[in-house]
Amino acid sequence: MFEGLSVAMVTPFREGEVDHEAVDRLVDHLLDGQVDGIIPLGTTGEGPTVTMAEREEIVRRVVGRARGKAFVLVGTGTNNTRTSIELTRMAHELGADGALIATPYYNKPTQAGLIAHYRAIADEGGLPIMLYNVPGRTSVTLSVDSVCTLAEHPRIVAIKEATGSLDVSSEICRETDLTVVSGDDSLTLPILAVGGQGVVSVLGNVIPAAVQKMLRAFQSGDLAEARRLHLASFSFIKALFIETNPGPVKRALAQLGLLQEELRLPLVPVSAASAQRIDAELARLAVEIGPVRMGSAV
């Protein structure tokens, strides 16, 4: 469940407010790129800075626009279990297909606490869950043993693996029946090789069709083409993380005319030096894979 290309969608802002026209435009861009899933309001979507009213409207719009074309997982994980349950219930009521739940940040719970947190959300939230193991953001790591324990819950169906360790991905693929998807664009192809079944992609905001083409090439056994697309996009992927995500990807999307280069504090737009590198890599990417434009096919 939740295999293939899911895009961790950015939240467009304009003059301090959610830019709903740009939300619609971005969803259409992703659907034109034949994504399998869309994930609003995660880290890339600046979920912690979005109000409850804004959250409700964003989810409603994304679900309505994607219905019948792509599944929608909503980022509902916080460092408060009760709040996470409430956000998951809201997503369920608005028609989402599942929830992406990052490990709690700042609190630094034990493995027992992490297991209890996820079980409570799975029990009470009403949606299938994709675990999100991202210690670089949260300062806690969900152990493989804990993942195996959580995999026994019928509503915990997938994991976004962003520890950066192929060993961890390999162990989870070997020991569980969870859908394992890459949480790092630069590791998507290696994770597919050890048994992963997709990616939650930041890169896919910009070139969804090319990322989907890489996945399908791998699935069809065309490893040379999958490797070509991986290597063609590799330096651009690195540029997307030259500063804190989603600053760089918003710069790239602004260059494509999809949204304004605006973030909410405490995040700010990338520096002039970073913008220059992102622009250069975007131009190089267009040479490597073909025109990079809204809704472009590869």
Q: Of these residues, 106, 108, 132, 238, which one is catalytic?
A: 132
| CA dist., res. 193 & res. 226, Å (int) | 11
| CA dist., res. 128 & res. 159, Å (int) | 11
For residue 241, count other CB atoms closer than 10 A to its CB.
15
Nearest Cα neighbor of 255 from 233, 244, 238, 270 is 270
Start-to-end CA distance of the chain, whole Å, equals 26
CB 167 within 8 A of CB 146: no
Q: Active-site residue 105, yes or no?
A: no
- Sign (positive or negative) of CA dihedral 35, 36, 40, 44: negative
Taking the CA of residue 156 as centre, how many other CA atoms within 13 Å lie in the half-sphere pointing to its CB?
A: 25
Q: Of these residues, 105, 106, 118, 160, which one is catalytic?
A: 160
Is 81 known to sit in a ligand binding site? no
Listed in order, strand segments (DSSP E) in the chain are 4-8, 13-14, 17-18, 37-39, 71-75, 98-102, 129-133, 156-161, 179-182, 198-201
Is 44 known to sit in a ligand binding site? yes
> For the chain, how many residues are written?
298
Nearest Cα neighbor of 125 from 90, 88, 79 is 88
Q: Active-site residue 250, yes or no?
A: no
Residue numbers in the known binding site are 44, 200
Residues annotated catalytic, as ranges: 132, 160
Residue numbers in the known binding site for pyruvate are 44, 200
